[in-house]
Amino acid sequence: MKQYIILICGLLLMNLLLSTAMKGQSGVGEIPYGNSKAAGSYISVNGVKIYYEIYGEGPALVLIHGNGGNIAYIKPHKAK
């Protein structure tokens, strides 16, 4: 049981450190993902206001972040 708790604590710490490192990656002139007035909009679905952004052309590719995440987590995976 103690090993299980240590493993869970280690995974949570690793998640915290990685998410903090990803948030710190920013550069001058980058697209403000998650705060783009040109690409972002809201849609109401079953009374819930959902924010989305559209980039590029062609067939749609929907990327959904994990629980507790945000659009910043998807940024490293966008095609150039």
27-73: per-residue pLDDT in tens?
545 667 777 788 888 989 999 988 888 888 888 888 777 777 777 76
Pairing of strands 40-45, 48-53: antiparallel
Closest CA to 68 of 23, 10, 24, 36: 23
User: In whole angstroms, what is the distance from residue 59 CA to residue 11 CA?
Assistant: 36
The token pair that represents 44 in the structure block? 């109401």
* Predicted TM-score (pTM) of this structure: 0.49
Tens-place pLDDT, residues 2-30: 888 888 888 888 877 776 655 555 554 56
